[in-house]
Amino acid sequence: MAALYPPIEPHARGHLAVGDGQEIYWESSGNPSGKPVLFVHGGPGGGTAPAQRRFFDPERYRIILFDQRGCGQSRPHIADGADLSVNNTAALIADMEKLRVHLDVERWQIFGGSWGSTLGLAYAQSHPERVTELVLRGIFLLRRSEIDWYYNGGAAHIFPDVWERYLAPIPEAERSGDLVAAYHRLLTGPDPAAAQRAASAWTAWENKTSHLLPQQDSDQTDRFALAFATIENHYFVHRGFLDEGQLLTDVGAIRDIPAVIVQGRYDVVCPMRSAWDLHRAWPEAELVIVDNAGHASLEPGIAEALVTATDAFATSDHATRGGHR
């Protein structure tokens, strides 16, 4: 945490009605007249946390966080019966644009990791004229190979003990098939207790595999786990509502936007192959490989690289650096 800026509190916050009966939570901290940056959280379904304000210099940035539909402090929450049918990538992109207009921001930096990198890329490719820079971490392109690696058995070769706990809620007869689909039946089925057990196991799998070195068990609530697992699984069943390889195919739309990609060498959740493929398609973006890190944004090397990127862009002339290190 030494690389991060000190904790700060928001100077403004609220809920924005975005249609479909949804209200997204947003907050702004740092310098109200500073350079706008939008933090795009992971999951999907992960929500935001106070530590995420700390990747940015509060003297130079207007730091905007928001909770995506159905999670965090947005309303209604999945645990309160939020409608999944109106939760998709196009809707989230539209929500981000409505928030930009609501906050009277002309252009902003997009900062996102894991699913936040997916949604950040999708937003930038849809609205490149609204993006000053991109800072992306733990690249997730939502290709079938990435889903299969992490949720259908690939990563089990590295974490076989944790994998057994991931398998536990699934009936034995379904464990040789598509596990994402099996989890979908549990998470959206008629038994609330079974859904909660599945949500807790799904969330624990990600928590236990996100760091290079083992961490203590998190104290995340059942409410958090239910939103995280249900929304995440919903998106993965639908392949992120993206065409296969779409974020690579459409990279030309953002080629001229300055960008830094930060990737942990030993990221099991979002292996480095995806960051490398993105960098090969988009060599103008700088790729920073952190050799002593996994997936989590608060691992020391990852946090340091992210803050270095935001510090550089705080006074950037928008020159593209390119290359990798």
86-103 per-position pLDDT tens digit: 999 999 999 999 999 999
User: pLDDT at position 318, please?
Assistant: 45
Q: How confident is the model at residue 319 (pLDDT cuts 50, 70, 90)?
A: very low
Asked if 324 contacts 287 with a C-beta cutoff of 8 angstroms, the reply is yes
- Is pLDDT of 248 > 80? yes
The model's pLDDT over 186-237, given as tens digits with 9 standing for 90+, comes to 999 999 999 999 999 999 999 999 999 988 766 689 999 999 999 999 999 9
Distance (Å, whole) CA 79 – CA 84: 11
- Nearest-angstrom CA–CA distance, 112 and 109: 10
Domains of the chain listed by start with CATH number: 12-143+241-314 (3.40.50.1820), 145-238 (no CATH)
> Partners of 28 in the beta sheet?
12, 64
Contacts of 113 (CB under 8 A, 6+ apart): 42, 136, 137, 138, 262, 297
| Predicted model pTM | 0.96
Smallest CA-to-CA distance from 42 within 105, 116, 109, 133 is with 116
| Whole-number Cα distances in Å, 265 to 4, 179, 309, 325 | 21, 26, 18, 12
Which H helix or E strand runs over 36? Answer: strand 35-40
The 3-state DSSP composition of the chain as helix, strand, coil percent (nearest 5) reads: 45, 20, 40
Alpha helices in 104-191 (DSSP H): 115-126, 144-151, 160-167, 179-187
Place of tokens 């057994």: 164
- Tens-digit pLDDT profile for residues 8-50: 999 999 999 999 999 999 999 999 999 999 999 999 999 999 9
Report residue 287: phi and psi, to 5°.
-105, 120
Q: What is the pLDDT of residue 200?
A: 97
Query: Known catalytic residues?
Result: 114, 267, 295
For the record, the structure tokens of 318 come out as 């928008």
Amino acid 44 reads P
Residue 256 · residue 320 · CB < 8 Å: yes
Angle, nearest 10°, between helix axes 179-187 and 222-237? 130
- DSSP string covering 174-219: GTTS-HHHHHHHHHTSS-HHHHHHHHHHHHHHHHHHSSSS--PPP-
The proportion of the chain whose per-residue pLDDT surpasses 70, expressed as a percent, equals 96
CA distance 20 to 41: 21
